[in-house]
Structure 1
């Protein structure tokens, strides 16, 4: 199943070394064929979910779709086409009946400490089901939370503390982080670590470090060497929403 991520691992280093302008260039894309993975965040009015738990649920759901048994079967055409290009994700919020409706679409729901997120197979944007397209993209902000200790053996996903992101934007970025981690572990042949992570439900720890701690570990000078030297996968945003092209949004440390 991890073979679905092969194209991502193969392109990873070259993506990191491309200039920001090139990362933002979509002139080679046919708009009719562009795919994006919807990540639906359950945000009820009362009670609202914990922000950190919701991001951890989204991070787990994104990679769970890619490594589900269906990924090598009925979901393979959509996932393969998507991973072969830019791995766009679009976060949307849902509550009540709208949240119930997306459960009938192909994907995986993950719950972490009462917070729920559902990642769906990547649709062509022009063919997004109405159950998804009617959901709001904006309005996903939640109060900052104070998470507990990092669970033993869980990958650590550090959000860039110098770049404000809505919960929706951050959910997409941590989802990129878990996909990169899985792809790079697979490329190294580290199946035992992947199996252990899958057995935990792809649990992660999403944290926001201090600016000083971020600066100390951010491999901005040589992001393509970060995995080999420090076990860090670097999420570098294309700049389509909220942040400037080339911004490092997440550092994902292997378990």
Structure 2
């Protein structure tokens, strides 16, 4: 994987979603934009029929892949991906997960993006584009049917960021993949350069776990004071816009920079 820290395309993400920082940002909205004009990042989940992946490594691969696209060498100012990524991050950071296998999975490997493998689970996050401009290799892939059974991954390692899923909200694997991708982007937008460099050296590895209810309550209580939650605990919340599956404003993920 080629990736270099440099959060320039993530500056609008910090300004928009970490509002307590006081960074200038237009509060853009795309609910009234024609669907074909909406910008989104395709996230392709490899779901082979004979050997489907486990849910946790699939989500961890999705979380790392989405961020790796944003911090790829080609995403630097002047690079071939920069303008597309900046157009996307300057609005809602929508992601649409699709499933692929066999020849369809191989076909998307030729499109601009990053593939991440975690314990045999593979996800390719692609360069965002307008929905109406999706390459045929992507538009033919199905969005529905991307679920995989829940697993029991055990405790999260203590040497990487953790993405905690809301224990009271049921999401498909595709929806959860998009949400954890939002989480890693928010973390990267807020980390200092030394922390981001260290994370890049680890391939942006992270852990995904369903939070226990007591831990979720403590985390969301802390997030009532978002500036303090970040400064003191390294916590940031992913709040869903409510386009699919969950109600607007639902906290789907709490991302923890420090376990």
Residue 217 of structure 1 deviates from its aligned partner by 1.6
* Aligned: 1:119 with 2:125: yes
- Where in structure 2 are the equivalents of 1:74-113 lying within 5 Å? 74-113=80-119
The answer to whether the 8 Å contact 2:241/2:248 transfers is yes
TM-score of the superposed pair, with normalisation by structure 2:
0.89
Aligned-partner Cα distance in 2 for 1:48–1:108: 20
TM-score of the superposed pair, with normalisation by structure 1:
0.90
Aligned-partner Cα distance in 1 for 2:226–2:28: 15
Secondary structure at the residue paired with 2:115?
strand
The answer to whether the 8 Å contact 2:45/2:98 transfers is yes
The answer to whether the 8 Å contact 2:29/2:91 transfers is no
The answer to whether the 8 Å contact 1:23/1:246 transfers is no
Aligned-partner Cα distance in 2 for 1:51–1:160: 15
* Aligned: 1:248 with 2:215: no
- Where in structure 2 are the equivalents of 1:54-73 lying within 5 Å? 54-72=58-76, 73=79
User: Runs of at least 4 residues of structure 1 off by over 6 A?
Assistant: 22-25
Residue 120 of structure 1 deviates from its aligned partner by 0.2
Correspondence for 1:151: 157
1:7-34 Cα offsets, whole Å, 9 max, x none, are: 111122339xxxxxx998723x465542
- Structure 1's unaligned 5+ residue stretches are 16-21
- Structure 2's unaligned 5+ residue stretches are 1-5, 21-26
The answer to whether the 8 Å contact 1:24/1:238 transfers is no
The answer to whether the 8 Å contact 2:42/2:126 transfers is yes
Say what the alpha-carbon RMSD is for the aligned residues.
2.0
Correspondence for 1:216: 218
- Where in structure 2 are the equivalents of 1:203-242 lying within 5 Å? 203-219=205-221, 221-223=224-226, 225-242=228-245
Aligned-partner Cα distance in 2 for 1:42–1:206: 18
